[in-house]
Structure 1
Amino acid sequence: MDEQRVRGAAGPRRRWRHGPPWRNGWEAAEERPARWPWRSTALFTAFVLVGSNAAAHLQQGDRAAPDGFARVLLVVGSGLLLWRKRYPVAVVFGTAAAALVYLGAGYAYGPVFLTVAVACFSAVVAGHRRAAWSALGMLWAGHVLVTHWPYRWLPASRDPSASWAQEIVIATWVVAIVAVSELARAKREQWARDRAERAQAARRRADEERLRIARELHDVLAHSISVINVQAGVGLALLDTDPEQARTALTTIKAASKEALGEVRQVLDTLRAPGAAPRTPAPGLDRLPELVEQAAAAGLTVDVEGRPPGLAPAADLAAFRIVQEALTNVVRHSGSRRAHVRLEHGDAALRLRIDDDGPATGGHPGGSGNGLAGMRERAAALGGTIEAGPRPDGGFEVLAVLPLTTEEDR
């Protein structure tokens, strides 16, 4: 059975028109257009109009009171915020220009700066940092120019030249807007990276789980089908001349297929109920005698030396599957009818050696198949190693070194 690494297909390249996808959520920005911010825009407009009237009363005699033209500028500047999510660059320059005309006309300082701050925030968060900086720089430079040169010809008539201390305050206010906007942009980018990393980790875990299941199915079916194939050939050959031996072969086929179905069902149960405890314990080296019996039914004599030590469940399963796959390869690819399994262990590792002394009988016994690749992946996942290849004196050898305890058990 071929083992395939299941990977998610690469989707179309993601594109967006109105800034990075993290502006309104990673997926939402791609699936639906930005909503119109009617409510917030109406709230900002009302606040700016009311606040400007209140500011004019506080600055009466120093700055001009809002008239019809001033209210038009305030409504235009606030109304532009309705497009701040779709056209952030145009909105930040439009609000800055409206505020500059309003202040240049000598009207009272007040919430007019709020519209510029909101537009700047939206532009920076959407990724248009230079446009936001340029618009604020234009507003500050225009204000400095107006309040120090043509202020005598602008209302109100008693409006004096602005002090440089006032310009420093305004510059500080501009820098604060930029700093807050940049901080929000950095936070949102970090949230987007975190979401992407979590999604990638979830996909990686799913891929690893699918690979584990594919490896289990390969090991179960390859071994059982090899035994069934050999016994089916024996049964067909002896059906007429030795019915009793043919009956024995069919009995072996029935037992092997029943065991394979049980193990396949156990693997598939993990797909139906992820995280659920298995109904039967995972196989381990305590079932080594069963492997020897199954190999004997396929015509292979297996000599076992040594006793299995106490292993962690993951290492015990990996050791069992490695022996199973190695014996299956002997049955399928070796001309020898005898194999040797040696178990040696020290304080930290188990050494598994499976070899035979027969010549190869076709295929690619050198280790290019999926079975040997699966054994290497099992060992590597536990921090162990696998060496497989022809012996100098003929035959084939598999040497596995597995830790007695895994990282999860420490």
Structure 2
Amino acid sequence: MDEQHTRFCGGPPWSRAGGPPPPLRLWEARRSAGRVPWPSTIAVAVFVMVGSRFAAEGQPEREALDAFARVLLVIGPAFLLLRNRWPVVSVFGVCATALVYFGAGYPYGPIFLTVAVGAFAAVVSGHRFAAWWAVGGLWAGHLLIAHWLYAHLPPGGDDAAPWGQELVIAAWVVAILAASELVRTRREVWARERMERAAAEKRRADEERLRIARELHDVLAHSISVINVQAGVGLALLDSNPEQARTALTTIKAASKEALGEVRQVLDTLRAPGDAPRAPAPGLDRLPELVEQAASAGLRVEIETDGERRALPPGTDLAAFRIVQEALTNVVRHSGSRTAQVRIAYRPGRLDLRIDDEGPATGSDAGGSGNGLAGMRERAAALGGTIEAGPRPDGGFRVRADLPVQPKETM
């Protein structure tokens, strides 16, 4: 794609943002980092406070919930306020608070919920190893307290915890972390799918803009070239041969009317993309009109057909017509030859086009955009075909197109 088309379409999806898109994990983190989860944290804090009181009634052998215990039960949920912006600090904070709570001999209970929420937030935000280390450290600290340090810690006269209890706690920890990993994976998949859909929509919009730019270029280039030539003729003959000047003006009027009609058809597709076009897209059946327009610009076109003519798919038919149109426009603009030869060959599964002029090149600036050959190549490539354009060994210029009859993509 040449530079002009790249500028028209806006470039890659990330070019205007100054770099490639951020990773999915960073994108998810940025989306939620600014929010402080007050409502859910308050709900967790209330549940932990109330639930711990009921849990203490069923565990009379543990230490009673005093002021320090209630402070710990508040500090744990308070760390959860940081779980969106600083998830690592949050998960280590709730685990450390829970470890101090257990070490002080307070009853088992809903304080585990703060650990679950903190670990879940850390894993989902992408800090999975920090969550595993924090929860693993809590479990290891609980093992140390329950089986080795229990004699030196409250409550007094406590015995070692049964090992079956540790298996239950280990299963609970693994279940929480596994659920967190599952949610993290699903969120990353959803985020990736959203980004892929957005990129696909952006790509379709870019391709549509490129198609419209190419169509407008092909529609206007030929007609404007004819108008330019005829305007020069009219100005030169306005005083010496008014009748021929009138003919030139009539040609300008007809060419401009046709150009306006085709531009209107292209713009109608923009206003109502789902509606069918009011007029069929041009094809090789309109070559006589093209020859007549070229003749009005002083160019005689000879058409030769090889093989049995047959109906072409709409995309191939339109591309063939535009390629011939652009090639003849370039002859009018850039060649000193007043004769061009168009050869159309129908092959099995292929359509060959060849447009020749004798030259020589004028070397003058005819006011073109420089997108003509690039547009022809893009049309051919969209169908799976090829374009060759360049000077001929014996002088002049040749454009040769090889198009499949069954296109890869209908334009």
Pairwise same-fold verdict (TM > 0.5): yes
Secondary structure at the aligned position of 2:403 is classed as strand
Structure-1 separation of matches of 2:158 and 2:251:
106
Secondary structure at the aligned position of 1:352 is classed as strand
1:55 maps to what in 2?
A: 55
Q: Conserved in 2, the CA contact under 8 Å of 1:286 and 1:308?
A: no
Secondary structure at the aligned position of 1:236 is classed as helix
Runs (5+) with no aligned partner, structure 2: none
Q: 1:222 to 1:408 in 2, by over 3 A?
A: closer
1:333 maps to what in 2?
A: 334
Q: Is residue 393 from structure 1 mapped to residue 356 from structure 2 by the alignment?
A: no
1:10 maps to what in 2?
A: 16
2:373 maps to what in 1?
A: 372
1:77 maps to what in 2?
A: 76
Structure-2 separation of matches of 1:338 and 1:185:
69
Q: 1:378 to 1:240 in 2, by over 3 A?
A: same
Amino acid at match of 1:362: G
Q: Deviations over 1:204-252 (max 9, x none)?
A: 1111111111111111111111101111111122222221111111100
Shift of 1:292: 0.3
Shift of 1:23: 4.2
Shift of 1:175: 2.5
Structure-2 separation of matches of 1:386 and 1:124:
54
Amino acid at match of 2:75: V
Match of residue 21, structure 1, among 27, 37, 60 = 27
1:353 maps to what in 2?
A: 354
Structure-2 separation of matches of 1:52 and 1:201:
52
Amino acid at match of 1:7: G
Structure-2 separation of matches of 1:217 and 1:145:
78
Structure-2 separation of matches of 1:117 and 1:3:
56
1:162 maps to what in 2?
A: 161
Structure-2 separation of matches of 1:372 and 1:14:
31
Q: 1:3 to 1:73 in 2, by over 3 A?
A: closer
2:384 maps to what in 1?
A: 383
Structure-1 separation of matches of 2:409 and 2:376:
20
Amino acid at match of 2:139: W
Amino acid at match of 1:267: V
2:226 maps to what in 1?
A: 227
Structure-1 separation of matches of 2:127 and 2:376:
52
Q: Is residue 41 from structure 1 mapped to residue 41 from structure 2 by the alignment?
A: yes
Structure-2 separation of matches of 1:45 and 1:153:
30
Q: Conserved in 2, the CA contact under 8 Å of 1:64 and 1:108?
A: yes
Secondary structure at the aligned position of 2:81 is classed as helix
Structure-1 separation of matches of 2:293 and 2:408:
33
Amino acid at match of 1:242: N
Runs (5+) with no aligned partner, structure 1: none
2:123 maps to what in 1?
A: 124
Structure-2 separation of matches of 1:140 and 1:15:
39
Q: Conserved in 2, the CA contact under 8 Å of 1:3 and 1:214?
A: no
Shift of 1:128: 2.1
Secondary structure at the aligned position of 1:20 is classed as helix
Secondary structure at the aligned position of 1:10 is classed as helix
Shift of 1:325: 0.2
Structure-1 separation of matches of 2:57 and 2:253:
98
Structure-1 separation of matches of 2:376 and 2:408:
19
Q: 1:176 to 1:363 in 2, by over 3 A?
A: farther
Secondary structure at the aligned position of 1:299 is classed as coil
Q: 1:126 to 1:7 in 2, by over 3 A?
A: same
Amino acid at match of 2:68: F
Structure-2 separation of matches of 1:176 and 1:359:
81
Q: 1:200 to 1:245 in 2, by over 3 A?
A: same
Structure-1 separation of matches of 2:364 and 2:88:
66
Amino acid at match of 1:285: L
Q: Conserved in 2, the CA contact under 8 Å of 1:3 and 1:218?
A: no
Q: Conserved in 1, the CA contact under 8 Å of 2:353 and 2:401?
A: yes
Structure-2 separation of matches of 1:15 and 1:171:
39
Secondary structure at the aligned position of 2:65 is classed as coil
Shift of 1:188: 1.5
**Taking structure 2 as the reference length, what is the TM-score of the superposition?**
0.90
2:243 maps to what in 1?
A: 244
Q: 1:308 to 1:256 in 2, by over 3 A?
A: farther
Q: 1:180 to 1:159 in 2, by over 3 A?
A: same
2:86 maps to what in 1?
A: 87
Q: Conserved in 1, the CA contact under 8 Å of 2:383 and 2:409?
A: no
2:272 maps to what in 1?
A: 273
2:317 maps to what in 1?
A: 316
**Taking structure 1 as the reference length, what is the TM-score of the superposition?**
0.90
Q: Conserved in 1, the CA contact under 8 Å of 2:382 and 2:408?
A: no
Shift of 1:170: 2.1
Q: Deviations over 1:59-92 (max 9, x none)?
A: 333x334333222211221232122212212211
Shift of 1:168: 3.1
Q: Deviations over 1:18-60 (max 9, x none)?
A: x722247xxx45xxx6332222112212222232233333333
Counting matched residue pairs gives 397
Secondary structure at the aligned position of 2:398 is classed as strand
Shift of 1:273: 2.9
Shift of 1:283: 1.2
Secondary structure at the aligned position of 1:124 is classed as helix
Amino acid at match of 1:58: G
Shift of 1:408: 5.4
Amino acid at match of 1:192: A
Amino acid at match of 2:222: H
Q: Is residue 139 from structure 1 mapped to residue 142 from structure 2 by the alignment?
A: no
C-alpha RMSD over aligned residues: 2.4
Amino acid at match of 2:272: A
Q: Conserved in 2, the CA contact under 8 Å of 1:300 and 1:339?
A: yes
Shift of 1:96: 0.6
Structure-1 separation of matches of 2:316 and 2:77:
67
Structure-2 separation of matches of 1:369 and 1:181:
57
Structure-1 separation of matches of 2:109 and 2:43:
16
